[in-house]
Structure 1
Amino acid sequence: MIRIGLISDTHGALSKRILNFLEEVDEIWHAGDIGNPETADELAAMKPLKAVYGNIDGHVLRRMFPENLRFRCEQVEVFMTHIGGYPGRYEPRIRKEIYSNPPQIFICGHSHILKVINDKKINCLHINPGAAGNKGFHRVCTAIRFVIDGKQIRDMEVFELERTKF
């Protein structure tokens, strides 16, 4: 059993309350737009970090992290990228891989909108954790925690923080 903390779009800012939310996990996954290497280092100092770079991330973060990351967690195949689209409207650069070799979990960020959608066509859980940072159009900072236990994905929790209380 592994407890996952999932965030995206920190844009170089981490709230103490989001960091507290992530204290109870075994791994942190970041779906891009980290913002700066210091943010990645702070997260990696807390827990093991898996991350992809996003469209605002500079050359240093692009050397630290890949654009796409595919891995197994317990018995679950995970595919993470920053700009991925949504079920039925996946980004062209990843569409073929998603449909030809569907993961059990597909994670992306970029939109700053938290969404969890079951893509029934390919039997895949699509997760966008929204934006954990305080830059962008979103009014609420969000993060997700969940458990992967063997083949099971369970106990999903959503954290919300008004940006005015960041």
Structure 2
Amino acid sequence: MPRKPNRVRLLLLSDTHGQLNPQILALAGEVDTIVHAGDIGHPDVLTALTATGQALHAVRGNNDVDSKWPADGHTLLNTLDDQLAIDLPGGVLVVEHGDRVNPAARRHELLRAGHPQARLIVYGHSHRQVIDDAVTPWVVNPGAAGRSRTYGGAGCVVLTASTQRWELAPFRFVLGRMKGGGLIE
């Protein structure tokens, strides 16, 4: 049985809506694991993230439905869960899109109540980057990692998790023009 690492780095992202910021894609190659919290938007986003060679975990968002994905992506889409729990050194990371947790004004409270076993809960949906680490479990929205409603630039968060300590590093990138394949220049 392989030994669990003492320290891992994860890229947390969400709300690409079929368009992935290239700076975030480059950052994906520098971590151990990529976590997408839904509203992926197109299978090309998952293909690009998988091509980095890092482990990838993703959940469905409210826009990740057959009617909004190309027909050749339906099989992949239907393999995605609505929630994931990932065991990491020092605790459990829970991922869900967050669209079903309402009212929005109580979203963090309700997420914490729904996942008391977690050390960190990652969600998307609002497109707004938020790090709420005042109490455990922490609640993080990495912001939109594509082009749609980025509120100041495409966002993501890098989590460094060890048995002793977890650290969050938020990132923002100014958006450019679209180019082929769902990537942004």
The TM-score with structure 2 as length reference comes to 0.76
Q: 1:102 offset after TM fit, Å? A: 3.5
Contact 2:21 2:175 in 1 (8 A): no
1:90 partnered with 2:107? yes
Aligned match of 1:159 in 171, 176, 182? 171
Partner of 1:57: 64
Match in the other structure for 1:9: 15
d(CA) in 2 for partners of 1:4 and 1:94? 20
Largest Rg, 1 or 2: 2
Q: Which residue of 2 aligns with 1:130?
A: 143
| Alpha carbons 2:59, 2:80 under 8 Å: kept | yes
State how far apart, in whole Å, the 1-side matches of 2:103 and 2:33 are: 24
What is residue 91 of structure 2 aligned with on the other side?
76
Question: Percent same amino acid among aligned pairs?
Answer: 28
CA RMSD after TM alignment: 2.6
> How many pairs are equivalent?
161
- Specify which structure has the higher proportion of strand: 1
Q: Residue 35 of structure 2 contacts residue 58 of structure 2 at CA under 8 Å; is this kept in 1?
A: yes
Q: Deviations over 1:36-73 (max 9, x none)?
A: 11211221221110111101112325412100111211
Is the 8 Å Cα contact of residues 143 and 150 (structure 2) preserved in structure 1? Answer: no
Equivalent position SS for 1:49: strand
Question: What per-residue deviation string (whole Å, max 9, x for no partner) do you get for residues 75-120 of structure 1?
Answer: 311111001569971389867523xx34110110011100000252
Q: Distance in 1 between matches of 2:113 and 2:158?
A: 28
